[in-house]
Amino acid sequence: MSNTFLYFAYGSNLLTKRIRLSNSTAIMKDIGFIKNFRLDFQRYSKRWCGPSATIVETENFTVWGVIWELDNCNLTTLDCQEGVQDNLYHAMFVNVETPNGTILKCRVYQQCSNPKEYIKPIDFPMNKRPSPLYLNMILKGAEEHNLPTDYIKFLKTIPHNGYEGEYDISLSLIED
C-alpha cells in the first residue's frame, strides 16, 4: 500500500505557500483538469471573509488545478483544513487529466451544500463574491503553476466582494 495520496487543489491550495502551512509533505506533481465540473463560490467562510470555492457537477465545464502528492500523515491535516469535521466540505475522488493525457485518481473536496443554479461569475451577486485576498491567492497559485492562460483569464473575471478588514489567517500569506 502506498504511503502517499494525490490531491487535486482548485482553490487557495493552488498556492504552494498555502498548502504547506498545514501539509508540509505536499509535493507538486502536475497540473490537470476535471471535466463536467464548474468552479463556484458558495458557503461564507469566516477565515476568508467571503464565500470559498467549490466544484459543482455541470456538463461541458472544466476546472483546472494542481495535483499534489502528500504523505498519508497529512490526510487528517488536509481534512481538518477543509472543514470535513464541521461538514463544510466532504472528500471525494475524481479523475484528473494532465496536459499529456494521463488520468490520475485524486482526492478532492467539495462543499457539502452546493448551488443548484448556474450564474456566470461576472454576474455573481455580492454573497457569491470571494474576498480580494482569497481570490488573489487562487490567482497567484494558478500563475505560480502555469495553469492555462485562458483559465487564468477566466479567474480574473470573477469579481471580489471588496472586503478590506482583518483576516483570521497566517500573516505570512497576507504580506506577499
More confident site: 172 or 18: 18
What pLDDT is recorded for position 170? 59
Q: What is the mean pLDDT of residues 134-146?
A: 97
Which residue in 119, 127, 56, 53 sits closest to 88, CA to CA? 53
Burial 12-36 (b: 16+ CB within 10 A, else e): bbbbbebbebbbebbeebbbbbbee
Residue 174 has pLDDT above 60, yes or no: no
Distance CA 128, CA 60 (A): 22
Q: Please give the helix or strand (H or E) that residue 169 lies within, else none.
A: none
Crossing angle of helices 149-156 and 132-144, rounded to 10°: 170
What pLDDT is recorded for position 116? 84
What pLDDT is recorded for position 168? 74
For domain 4-162, say whether CATH 3.40.50.150 is its number: no
- Per-residue pLDDT reduced to its tens digit, 108-131: 999 999 888 999 999 999 999 999
Distance CA 74, CA 133 (A): 25
Which residue in 144, 107, 133 sits closest to 15, CA to CA? 144
Helix (H, G, I), strand (E, B) or coil at 68: strand
Q: What is the mean pLDDT of residues 146-168?
A: 94
Domain boundaries, the chain: 4-162
Please, which pLDDT band fits residue 173 given cuts at 50, 70 and 90? low
Residues classed as catalytic: 82
- Per-residue pLDDT reduced to its tens digit, 14-72: 999 999 999 999 999 999 999 999 999 999 998 899 999 999 999 999 999 999 999 99
Please, which pLDDT band fits residue 172 given cuts at 50, 70 and 90? low
Contact 103, 95 (CB under 8 A): yes
What pLDDT is recorded for position 176? 44
Alpha carbon separation from 117 to 40, 101, 110, 152 (Å, rounded): 10, 31, 16, 23
Backbone angles phi, psi at 64, to 5 degrees: -95, 155
What pLDDT is recorded for position 166? 85
Residue 73 has pLDDT above 50, yes or no: yes
Which residue in 36, 27, 14, 25 sits closest to 95, CA to CA? 36
Residue 11 has pLDDT above 70, yes or no: yes
What pLDDT is recorded for position 2? 83
